[in-house]
Structures are given as structure tokens and as C-alpha cells.
Structure 1
Amino acid sequence: MADSYQIKDQGGTYFITCQVIGWVDVFSRQTYRDIIISSLKYCMAEKNLIVYAYVIMTNHVHLILRSKSERLSDTVRDFKRFTSNQILKSIDENHSESRKDWMNIVFEYHARFNKRVKDKQFWTHENHAVELNNNEVMDSKLNYIHENPVRAGWVERAEDYLYSSARNYAGLYNLLEIEMI
């Protein structure tokens, strides 16, 4: 992993991208997006995680995060491990998941090339962490996160996408209470 994308300051604020291995469009299904939301709520309540912004796209999640306990790497690792296990279990147990066999082939294939993974790999190991150490970079990443669904052509306005903190910043109903920047 490139040194420039590592979390160096464990108490710093970072832009993080969690990418599904093979760019599999897992989060096109609500049930898997909801696992992400639920896990973020848990990390906020139990692991001192502060979420400033997020968006859940079909195959990746962008976040702006900080750890009050100055253990951001540990929290991100635990979040990815837990969500990986929960989503893979949900895929296997979901009898109506038409893509189950194909997704499992992709996850098993990528696991063969990674000594740290047993059977299936869900997330890539990189987080592409970028420290947000000034307001210009912070504003740029916040805008990038919120405009993702607009650039994808899913919504006309960022605040119209339910699985994004753009709704929080617009004062609308939201799925996850965050701290505003």
C-alpha cells in the first residue's frame, strides 16, 4: 500500500474509501446498504467513531471519519471485518439473491490471492485514506462525497439520495445522525 494513503494520525480526520473487491455491485440491494448504516451506528455508539460524511454507492463507500479514542485504523479494520462477515452471510442466506453464485465466485477467487483471507474476500485492503488537514481539502472531499450519486445519474440533487449525508447537511430526514463539519 502506498505510504501516502495510510492513516498516520490516529486522531486525525480522514476521507476513506471502502471498495468491494472486483467492484461487485453489492450495494444495489437495500439489505446490504442497511448493514453498512447499522454498523456505522454501532461504531459511533461503541467505538468512539465520528462520522462527518458518507455515501454508499453500489460497490464502494466514501466516508469522512475521525476517532475520539485516536484508534481510527483499528475502528476501520473492525468495521470492514464485521460488515464483510455480515454481508457475506446475508448473501448466502438470501434465497432471493439472484447473483449469489456469481458473487461468491468473485469473492472466493480474490481470496485465493490474499494470505490474510480464508474463504472469501469482500473488501479490498486499501482504504485510500486522505488526511483532511485544512478546510479546502475538507470541503473538496465533502462535495465529492455528496455529488457521487449526482455524477452517477441516480439523482438530480445530492440531498435526494437517501444513503448519503447530503440529506443531513440539507436538514432532511436521514438514516444516520452525523456530526456536521
Structure 2
Amino acid sequence: MGRNNFICQTEFPYHITARCINREWFGVEKEEVWKAMCRQLHFIHLAFGIRIHAFVLMTNHFHLIARAPEQNLSEAMQFFMGETGKDLRDLSDRINRTYGSRFHRTYISSPLYFLHAYKYVYRNPVEAGLCTKVEDYEFSTLKGLLGEQKIEIPILDDSNWETLESRRETLQWLNATPEKKNWEAVRKALKKHTFKLARENCRLSNLENDAL
């Protein structure tokens, strides 16, 4: 069966992820992977007009929240994955392809769903045991938003970080450990093509009203 034609939405962003082949690590030091991905994210921002909200590099995959005002997300991501794959093969002994498959995208169709995805992305390193606080993880655009690290990735202005008070509140929210069932609900919703929370005992999820 052929793949359904993709119509890129522009009103809200997408959560995008891709994993290294066979769930392996990328084959080079994470610092080098980060540099390569930062370069190419900067390029697709300039060349394709991609607007980036958040990016986090994990051990063998990445999480990206971005929108495509020019309805060219597929073209931009194909370029990004092709170029980063080539860059990482050049830096390592890998002779086969870098990524296990195409990228997966999930349309984030409301501001509340955006908050769920936003926290899921920035909190991913904490849940994976790579750090204890979201702001401690090095390979995240959060470092740039906090002014703790210069990054090449152009991040959209974010009202969560406009003032000292909003910064404190946002960090407190991101660092608050969610209930396991809520974390799992968001994880599963992000596996769909459009973010959709499963019902709980035939009732709407509490996440339809409250941020993760």
C-alpha cells in the first residue's frame, strides 16, 4: 500500500524525531553529532524557512519541534537527514546509512498539545537518566534559551523565557516529574501522525485540560 500524500500544516508545529540505524549510537562523540546537526538546522532555517521551537539530541535519536510556513517540511527534513547522515559517516567508520528509517512527524494541533510536546522534548534527557535537571543537559537548545551556551540553531522567541519570573516558573514546570501514566500518554500521542490523547476509561484524559 502506498504512503498517503502528506499535506503540510502551517498553523501549528510538528514534533519530529528520527533514530540511528539498529538503535545504535551515532558512531562519533556526541559533541561532533551536535555540531553537525546544529549546522544543518541552521541551514534549513535559512534555505527552507523552517522555524525551530526546540531541539534535543539524545544518544541515538533526536527530538525537534518545528514549523514550516512554506509547507516544505518533507523537503527540509529529507535534506537535513541526508546531509547529517553524510557528515556523520565522514566522521566515523560507518559505511551504511546513518538513520534507521524516515523521520516521524506528529502534528501538534493546539497550544496545550504544544506544551505537552515541549515538556516531553526538554525533559527527555532527565527521564533517560542522563541528567537530573533539564537545564543541565548539554545537547539541548534550552541552554541557548537560558543564555548559558551559544548555539547556531536559530530558536523562535519564546514567551516562557521573557522575564526572570517566567524563566523561574518554566524551569520549575519542566523539572516537575510528571505522573508516569501522563508521560506515557504523551509518548503514545507523539507516535501518531496527529497528536491525540487516548481516553481513560472512556473519559477524556486530564491532559486535555492541564499541561504535562
For normalisation by structure 1, the TM-score amounts to 0.75
CA RMSD of aligned residues (A): 2.4
Aligned to 1:8: 7
Runs (5+) with no aligned partner, structure 1: 92-99, 105-119
Equivalent position amino acid for 2:58 in 1: M
Aligned to 2:126: 150
Distance 1:28 1:145, change over 3 A: farther
**Following the alignment from structure 1 to structure 2, what is the Cα–Cα distance between the partners of residues 177 and 146?**
17
Sequence identity of aligned pairs in percent?
22
**Following the alignment from structure 1 to structure 2, what is the Cα–Cα distance between the partners of residues 2 and 33?**
34
Which runs of structure 2 are paired with 1:23-34 in the superposition (5 Å)?
Answer: 23-26=23-26, 28-34=29-35
**Structure 1 outlier segments of 4+, above 3 Å:** 1-4, 168-172
**How far is 1:82 from its partner?**
0.8
Residue deviations 1:76-131, cap 9 Å, x none? 1111111111111111xxxxxxxx3xx54xxxxxxxxxxxxxxx221133322110
1:121 aligned to 85, 93, 97, which one?
A: 97
Return the structure number with greater relative CO, CA threshold 8 A, min gap 6: 1
**Following the alignment from structure 1 to structure 2, what is the Cα–Cα distance between the partners of residues 56 and 166?**
11
1:173 aligned to 149, 170, 173, which one?
A: 149
Which runs of structure 2 are paired with 1:1-181 in the superposition (5 Å)?
Answer: 7-11=6-10, 12-26=12-26, 28-91=29-92, 100=93, 103-104=94-95, 120-175=96-151, 176-181=153-158
Aligned length: 155
**How far is 1:171 from its partner?**
4.4
Runs (5+) with no aligned partner, structure 2: 159-212
Contact 1:32–1:87 at 8 Å: present in 2 too? yes
**Following the alignment from structure 2 to structure 1, what is the Cα–Cα distance between the partners of residues 15 and 3?**
15
**Following the alignment from structure 1 to structure 2, what is the Cα–Cα distance between the partners of residues 8 and 46?**
20
For normalisation by structure 2, the TM-score amounts to 0.65
